[in-house]
Structure 1
Amino acid sequence: MNYIKLFLSFLKIGTFSFGGGYAMLPFIQKEVVEKNQWITMAEFTDIIGISQMTPGPVSINSATFIGYRVGGILGSIVATIGIIFTSFILVLITSKAIKTFKDNPKIKGMLMGMRPALIALILTAFLSLAKEAYVDFKSILITVVAAGFLFTKKLHPILVIVLSAY
């Protein structure tokens, strides 16, 4: 396993994607499934599911699981550091500037302009994962019933996940 390549791949994902974990999923998929072929699309879908159930941001959890899958414990450490490195450095450097410019109308406008692109990235990730997840009537039925319990009965999401396993 080339740990430098793993680090650089996740560094690129963490550096050039904007909008949080779900917005990163299409970039992660392209890099690890399509470009480097480290895992299959089915494995990627499973990793996303596990990443959503475990505490923490889905992008960091995904990087950790993918890194472990392709490079063991050292791979998980390398991938996780790669995906958080740029954000960590930028927040460290700009923490004072954020306080200064948080009410700037141009900054607010810029962030508002990014929202439609972020929504498109999240929808792209959903559609890509849905192709793998919804393979038969049973999987669609489980989703509809689970959504019904979540939104009408206000059941706790973890309870719905456990019930969905049956």
Structure 2
Amino acid sequence: MKKKVPEFGNAVRPGLLELFFAFLRISAVTIGGGYVMFPMMKAELADAKGWVSDEEMVDYYALGQSVPGIIAMNVSTLIGFRKRGWAGAACAAAGMAAPSVVVILLVAAFLSRWFDHPWVQRAFSGIRAAVVALIIMAVWQVGKKSASKLPALGIAVSSFALIVFGGLHPVLLMLFGGVLGSIFFRKNVGGDEL
């Protein structure tokens, strides 16, 4: 008997190729890593396709950055697994990785000698500035969902202060946040917060 993969969000179960191409599109047009991809993933997967809710997107990003590896790859693999099991995880991860592999191979083969050219350096300066804006947008979107209640806002502000001013390691703060979250945000069996 085939085990049913649990679904979430409002959409029907996507096809494997649909998963592959959704993550391929996201990865192909994003420069700057996982945080920069958050607005695009949210627009594509939550807003347009309904595969995940906004809250689930934030949860997957939190989990994706809490485990070793590249955030965007972790998130795509988790979503692929949740929607279609191991095959979905493989297709989503392959879609996320394919554009980067192609670009890295092209850069290594043809463009590495042009990196020191002034025009290329200016272009990268502009790209870096745009990436900062995308990261700020991702922080804003995640913050609206994650710190919408007073205890969550307190945890977020305290964590920020402890990292910036106290020099605490982020892993310790994630563990501390998990403990506080389990105390303040318990859910009953039906899924409603207590």
Whole-Å separation in 2 of the counterparts to 1:41 and 1:24: 14
Equivalence map 1:6-17=2 (5 Å):
6-17=19-30
Residue 167 of structure 2 is aligned to residue 122 of structure 1 = no
Residues 125-157 of structure 1: per-residue CA shift (max 9 Å, x gap): 111111110121111111111122212221211
Matched positions, count: 166
Residue 124 of structure 2 is aligned to residue 108 of structure 1 = no
Q: Where does residue 5 of structure 1 map in the other structure?
A: 18
Residue 178 of structure 2 is aligned to residue 146 of structure 1 = no
Q: How far has the Cα of 1:12 moved from its partner? A: 0.4
Amino acid across the alignment from 1:157: P
Whole-Å separation in 1 of the counterparts to 2:101 and 2:39: 21
Q: Where does residue 56 of structure 1 map in the other structure?
A: 69
Q: Normalised by the size of structure 1, how large is the TM-score?
A: 0.94
Residues 5-49 of structure 1: per-residue CA shift (max 9 Å, x gap): 111110101111112221111111111101111111111110010
Whole-Å separation in 1 of the counterparts to 2:165 and 2:144: 26
Which among 6, 10, 33 is matched to residue 20 of structure 1? 33
SS in 2 for 1:37: coil
Q: How far has the Cα of 1:88 moved from its partner? A: 0.2
Which among 43, 46, 56 is matched to residue 59 of structure 2? 46
Q: Where does residue 104 of structure 2 map in the other structure?
A: 91
Which among 95, 105, 115 is matched to residue 82 of structure 1? 95
Whole-Å separation in 2 of the counterparts to 1:132 and 1:45: 7
Residue 43 of structure 2 is aligned to residue 30 of structure 1 = yes
Q: Normalised by the size of structure 2, how large is the TM-score?
A: 0.81
Q: How far has the Cα of 1:77 moved from its partner? A: 0.8
Structure 1: state its 5+ residue gaps: none
CA RMSD of aligned residues (A): 1.2
Amino acid across the alignment from 1:106: W
Q: Runs of 4+ in structure 1 displaced over 4 angstroms?
A: none
Whole-Å separation in 2 of the counterparts to 1:113 and 1:90: 19
Whole-Å separation in 2 of the counterparts to 1:118 and 1:87: 17
Instruction: Return the index of the structure with the highest Cα Rg.
Output: 2
Whole-Å separation in 2 of the counterparts to 1:156 and 1:32: 32
Structure 2: state its 5+ residue gaps: 1-13, 181-194
Whole-Å separation in 2 of the counterparts to 1:112 and 1:163: 37
Q: Where does residue 8 of structure 2 map in the other structure?
A: none
